[in-house]
């Protein structure tokens, strides 16, 4: 049998491996995009950034900070509705840990277990944590669908402005996000099915001789299942919590999606193109959100340049993409990682003092 210490070691190794893979992907992506540009260099980008209009650049940076903050508020509001109050700084840690680990792992939900760890360490029951995260990821997914459909309804021409491959990715992404939303809704309403399957799996392992004394594990699963059902019934039956959580997730999505538009304007772009860029970015988010690559690196860059080039030309599209991704992904993930590390160390010291 594998001990808890060995499990933790393996988990740490996996995070380190994926962090290295993410770093290599980032280097490869930036290098590839730069090679494709024959007229723009990193020096040109730095110069463009130095001459950019700060009245648009500063709000772009603030929007990224709000992107992180809104997720913390959403999680905190769900917890409050479930009867578990938490501080704003705790909500921030729940958010940064989710964003950081989702970015360095191949799954868009890769940060959920780490966010769950911080919640559980804060004294929130595991069943409640599970229900809260399922609801939040469902609303996060649903918000992308709403913004994407809104963009297509208002400006259908925006979709047709993409290349063939981009259109395929957007359609596939929309289909996957709809399926995921339905799956999360099913988990929220019938979470007992998942826990029942988990209990049967434990019994199967016991019959095969891989697990001894399954009773404590089965009792723990039953306890978590009970907390999960109570919490999901409480928050799922409260329309105001559901609506408020959806609103915060929509604001979170908008805070990130609006950044390329602001960067474009900061580089001297035409304000009449603002909504078109926003609408394109809504569809880009859908197209790259389901791809099993850390941070959708490469895919997101391709979609942005493909979608923006027709509107603003290659050079401006390239500059807008590189600066936007630099702020919304690379810098954001680095800052989230630092905040998560500080939160982890501070929590560990607190636990050590309490022993």
pLDDT at 1: 39
- 129-162 pLDDT, tens digit per residue, is 888 998 999 999 999 999 999 999 999 999 998 9
The pTM assigned to this predicted structure is: 0.81
Is 211 within 8 Å of 205 (Cβ atoms)?
yes
Handedness of CA 341, 18, 106, 316 (dihedral sign): positive
- DSSP classification of residue 296: G
Residue 235, in any domain of the structure = yes
Measured between alpha carbons, how far is 322 from 312 in angstroms, rounded to an integer?
14
Residue 304, in any domain of the structure = yes
pLDDT at 348: 64
H and E: helices and strands count for the chain: 16, 0
Residue 142, in any domain of the structure = yes
Residue 23, in any domain of the structure = no
**pLDDT at position 5 over 50:** no
Residue 349, in any domain of the structure = yes
Closest CA to 303 of 195, 166, 181: 166
**pLDDT at position 3 over 70:** no
Measured between alpha carbons, how far is 235 from 213 in angstroms, rounded to an integer?
35
Measured between alpha carbons, how far is 316 from 271 in angstroms, rounded to an integer?
14
Q: What is the pLDDT of the chain when averaged over all its residues?
A: 81
Residue 9, in any domain of the structure = no
Quick one: what percent of the chain has pLDDT higher than 90?
A: 34
Q: How many domains does the chain have?
A: 1
- 207-233 pLDDT, tens digit per residue, is 777 777 777 787 877 887 777 777 777
**pLDDT at position 83 over 90:** no
Q: 256: pLDDT confidence band, cut at 50, 70 and 90?
A: very high
pLDDT at 329: 84
Ranked by mean pLDDT, the top range of 17-21, 73-77, 333-337 is 73-77
Closest CA to 46 of 328, 311, 257, 326: 326
Closest CA to 298 of 252, 113, 306: 306
Q: Which domain holds residue 296?
A: 42-354
Residue 3, in any domain of the structure = no
Residue 12, in any domain of the structure = no
pLDDT at 313: 87
Q: 33: pLDDT confidence band, cut at 50, 70 and 90?
A: very low
């Amino acid at each position: 049998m594998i001990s808890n210490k060995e499990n933790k070691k393996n988990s740490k190794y996996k995070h380190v491996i994926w962090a290295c893979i993410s770093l290599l992907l980032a280097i490869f992506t930036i290098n590839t995009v730069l090679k494709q540009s024959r007229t723009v260099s990193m020096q040109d980008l730095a110069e463009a950034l130095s001459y950019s209009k700060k009245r648009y650049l500063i709000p772009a940076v603030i929007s990224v900070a709000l992107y992180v903050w809104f997720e913390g508020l959403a999680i905190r509001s769900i917890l409050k509705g479930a009867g578990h109050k938490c501080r704003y700084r705790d909500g921030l840690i729940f958010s940064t840990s989710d964003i950081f680990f989702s970015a360095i792992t191949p799954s868009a939900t890769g940060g959920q277990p780490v966010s769950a760890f911080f919640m559980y360490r804060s004294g929130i029951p595991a069943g409640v944590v599970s229900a809260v995260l399922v609801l939040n990821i469902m609303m996060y997914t649903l918000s992308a669908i709403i913004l994407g459909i809104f963009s297509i309804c208002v400006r259908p021409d925006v979709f047709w402005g993409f290349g063939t491959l981009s259109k395929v990715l957007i359609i596939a992404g929309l289909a996957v996000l709809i399926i995921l939303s339905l799956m999360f809704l099913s988990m929220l309403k019938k979470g007992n099915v998942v826990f029942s399957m988990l209990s049967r799996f434990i019994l199967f392992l016991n019959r095969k001789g891989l697990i001894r004394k399954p009773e404590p594990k089965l009792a723990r699963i039953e306890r978590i299942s009970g907390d999960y059902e109570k919490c999901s019934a409480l928050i799922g039956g409260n329309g105001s919590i559901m609506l408020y959580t959806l609103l915060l997730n929509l604001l979170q999505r908008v805070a990130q999606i609006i950044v390329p538009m602001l960067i474009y304007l900061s580089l001297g772009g035409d304000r009449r193109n603002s909504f078109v860029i926003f609408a394109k970015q809504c569809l880009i988010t859908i197209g790259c959100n389901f791809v099993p690559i850390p941070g959708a690196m490469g895919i997101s860059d391709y979609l942005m340049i493909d979608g923006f080039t027709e509107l603003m030309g290659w050079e401006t599209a390239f500059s807008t993409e590189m600066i936007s991704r630099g702020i919304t992904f690379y810098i954001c993930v680095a800052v989230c990682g630092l905040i998560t590390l500080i939160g982890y160390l501070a929590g560990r010291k607190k636990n050590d003092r309490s022993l």
